[in-house]
Amino acid sequence: MLRHTAQRAVLIGTTLAAMAVLGAGTASAASAQTASGACAGVFISNSVCYEDAVVPGVANAIPEGDSLTSPHTIISMSNDTSIGYCIQGNFPAFSLIPGQWVDFSDTDPIEVTSVTALPEGAVCVG
């Protein structure tokens, strides 16, 4: 009887230790994902948020309807406006729609040369 109780105690202890390790790993992974990029999940009211690789960790804002026309190396972007934006640079142009967040921290940052408002129904090309 004592032998079975001791085995159960070891099994329960091992299981709890494994759960603690797995739980800590999950929390760390979630924290790392949340922390990637200054605009990761950050929405600046009525603005497009972008994180420039020159000053990482700082969220910059482009007010709704404004444009960014000077080159920037972008790590992450989010759109908290009611309009879409055309993002152009050294990559195929893409639309950043309202409510969208993009993160390039796991790849090379992108070289953005233009962020311009898209009129409704317009298509981003370039």
- Residue 7's identity, in one-letter code, is Q
pLDDT in tens, the chain (126 residues): 444 444 333 333 333 333 333 233 222 222 223 334 677 666 778 889 998 888 888 888 899 888 888 899 998 899 989 999 999 998 899 999 999 999 887 888 889 999 999 988 889 987
pLDDT at residue 40, rounded to an integer: 66
Over residues 7-36, the pLDDT tens digits come to 333 333 333 333 333 233 222 222 223 334
For 112, the enclosing helix (H) or strand (E) is: strand 110-118
Q: Within a 13 Å sphere around the CA of 20, how many CA atoms are in the beta-carbon half?
A: 6
